[in-house]
């Protein structure tokens, strides 16, 4: 009975979410009929594919053609069934509508992932699972780009689908879906690697428990020690694991589909001469270590209702008092990284249509010392991030943090869209918040969505040298 009620509740919320999204979509499309921002590249390219011109490619586009292929695959059959003709077939509005479908898919996938990750709460947390999925599907940065023809909604859909299949142990299907995710955005290879990493982490966890049962006389901890004191035992364990044939064989048997994807992606990089297709001048990799700090701060802000509390703050101060030298060292390293490895992309300084422009200009660039004064906040945001994930094993944390580092640090441009997937993966893995906290989180997301969409629609402006209408956006 409870499961049936949960199913009805989730269906009702999905329907309400889709109806509201359709109304917002209609309003935005009426206000901004022509392609805007990156749509000026994506829409014409998709229309070429709709016309069957698959050999034509805009060199300014830097991602693979997954979005356009799926759009044609969705729109063409619908148009044929409806009997439509003319330019409406692949109009800007029709192409944008594909992302609205992806939004529905993301809501369903997030719900399934949350159910799979929180099996222990199955009998008492139906409302929390449903609310968590709804909250994350309306995550402001992702939700905003649902209404424009960008790659984010589809990229997130296939990356989440990949992870869901890996959670169910369907690694061949996960690897195939991972290829689809890479066709939307090449950096999704990192999240395919993450899926492989979770497989390895699970094997390590199982092996650790076996070792713990064998070596009770040595007082091995039941959980992997998430501390410096346990580093020696962990390193010894990893060495033994890597030199045991049966362990290596079990990992390879489970993770080989991901290895094939990795080999194929490496071949693509060699043949393409790099990870970026098209224009590479604005997508040069660098060691922008502060990107991690920006992400942790971003995460603290948007997950605050779910992860932050007065008790958590007291716990941080207790940890600070207990390990002052550790935090002093972390602060010193962070100050050094901010000093020597802060990079600023030309787009961040030049394009005043994006919110990061104002974050950088009004906060970080306000004074040359501000970026250093923010370091204590970065340290707390990092601690809160790790504290929220302490229920996960050390091996899982290492896999996730390695992929998070690979996804953020090489990016020179501060772009909140790059934070969508790591944020969602972080959020689904923390313990399920209470209903009151989830309602507070939903209220925060709703308020931000209303504000950003209102500003996008109503607060237009013009550049001095152009008659085109400009709009503010993420």
The total of other beta-carbon atoms located within 10 Å of residue 411's CB is: 20
Q: How far apart are the first and last CA of the chain?
A: 42
Closest CA to 144 of 392, 370, 420: 420
Position 221 scores a pLDDT of 52
* Tens digit of pLDDT at every position of the chain (474 positions): 556 667 777 888 888 889 999 999 999 999 999 999 999 999 999 999 998 899 899 988 999 999 999 999 988 887 777 666 655 678 899 999 999 999 999 999 999 999 999 877 555 678 889 999 999 999 999 999 999 999 999 999 999 999 999 999 999 999 999 999 999 999 999 999 999 999 999 988 888 877 777 765 455 555 555 555 566 777 877 887 777 777 788 888 889 999 999 999 999 999 998 888 877 777 778 999 999 999 999 999 999 999 888 899 999 999 999 989 989 999 999 999 999 999 998 888 888 899 999 999 999 988 889 999 999 999 999 999 999 998 898 899 999 999 999 999 999 989 999 999 999 999 999 999 999 999 999 999 999 999 999 999 999 999 888 888 999 999
Residue 430, CB half-sphere, CA atoms under 13 Å: how many?
23
Q: 90-107 as b/e, with b when 16 or more CB fall inside 10 Å?
A: bbbebbbbbbbbbbbbbb
Separation CA 257–CA 262 (nearest Å): 9
Token pair 């969508």 in the structure block, residue? 420
Separation CA 295–CA 462 (nearest Å): 31
Token pair 């962070």 in the structure block, residue? 334
Q: What angle do CA 440, 442, 443 make, to 5 degrees?
A: 60
CA 226 to chain centre: 25
Three-state secondary-structure class, residue 8 = helix
Separation CA 328–CA 334 (nearest Å): 10
107 and 164 Cβ atoms separated by less than 8 Å: no
255 and 193 Cβ atoms separated by less than 8 Å: no
Position 86 scores a pLDDT of 54
Position 212 scores a pLDDT of 72
204 and 241 Cβ atoms separated by less than 8 Å: yes
100 and 146 Cβ atoms separated by less than 8 Å: yes
Give Cα separations from 294 to 231, 288, 312, 378, 413 (angstroms): 28, 11, 21, 8, 11
- Please report the DSSP string for 277-344 in residue order: -S--TT------THHHHHHHHHHHHHHHHHH--HHHHHHHHHHHHH-HHHHHHHHHHHHHHHHHS---
> Which helix (H) or strand (E) element contains residue 383?
helix 375-388
Position 85 scores a pLDDT of 62
Position 400 scores a pLDDT of 96
All residues at 6 or more sequence positions from 452 whose CB lies less than 8 Å from its CB, including other chains: 140, 144, 472, 473, 474
Position 242 scores a pLDDT of 75
């Amino acid at each position: 009975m409870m499961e049936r009620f949960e199913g009805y509740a989730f269906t009702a919320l999905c329907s309400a979410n889709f109806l509201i999204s359709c109304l917002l979509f209609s309003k935005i499309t009426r206000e901004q009929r022509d392609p805007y921002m990156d749509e000026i590249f994506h829409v014409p390219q998709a229309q070429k594919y709709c016309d069957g011109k698959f050999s034509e490619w805009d060199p300014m586009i830097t991602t693979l053609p997954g979005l356009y292929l799926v759009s044609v695959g969705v729109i063409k059959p619908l148009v044929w069934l409806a009997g439509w003709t003319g330019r409406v077939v692949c109009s800007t509005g029709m192409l944008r509508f594909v992302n609205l479908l992806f939004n529905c898919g993301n809501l369903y996938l997030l719900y399934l992932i949350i159910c799979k990750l929180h099996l222990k709460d199955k009998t008492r947390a139906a409302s929390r699972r449903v609310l968590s999925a709804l909250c994350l599907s309306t995550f402001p940065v992702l939700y905003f780009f649902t209404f424009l023809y960008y790659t984010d909604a589809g990229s997130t859909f296939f990356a989440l689908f990949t992870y869901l299949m890996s959670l169910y142990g369907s690694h061949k299907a996960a690897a195939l879906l991972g290829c689809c995710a890479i066709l939307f955005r090449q950096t999704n290879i990192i999240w395919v690697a993450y899926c492989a990493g979770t497989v390895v982490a699970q094997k390590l966890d199982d092996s650790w428990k076996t070792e713990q049962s064998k070596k009770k006389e040595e007082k091995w901890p039941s959980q992997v020690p998430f501390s410096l004191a346990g580093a020696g035992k962990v390193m010894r364990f990893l060495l033994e694991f890597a030199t045991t044939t049966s362990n290596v064989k079990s990992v390879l048997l489970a993770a080989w589909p991901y290895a094939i994807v990795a080999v194929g992606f490496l071949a693509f990089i060699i043949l393409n001469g790099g990870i970026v297709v098209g224009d590479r001048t604005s997508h040069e990799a660098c060691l922008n270590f502060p990107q991690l700090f920006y992400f942790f701060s971003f995460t603290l802000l948007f997950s605050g209702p779910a992860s932050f509390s007065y008790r958590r703050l007291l716990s941080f101060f207790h940890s600070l008092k207990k390990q002052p030298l550790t935090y002093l060292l972390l602060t010193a390293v962070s100050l050094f990284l901010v000093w020597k490895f802060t990079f600023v992309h030309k787009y961040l300084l030049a394009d005043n249509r994006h919110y990061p422009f104002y974050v950088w200009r009004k906060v970080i660039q306000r004074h040359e010392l501000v970026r250093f004064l923010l370091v204590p906040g970065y340290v707390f945001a990092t601690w809160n991030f790790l504290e929220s994930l302490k229920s996960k094993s050390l091996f899982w944390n290492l896999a996730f943090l390695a992929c998070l580092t690979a996804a953020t640090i090489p990016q020179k441009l501060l772009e909140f869209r790059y934070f969508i997937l790591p944020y969602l993966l972080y959020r689904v893995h923390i313990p399920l918040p209470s209903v009151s906290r989830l309602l507070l989180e939903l209220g925060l997301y709703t308020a931000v969505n209303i504000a950003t969409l209102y500003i996008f629609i109503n607060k237009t402006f013009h550049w001095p040298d152009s008659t085109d209408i400009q709009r503010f956006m993420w």
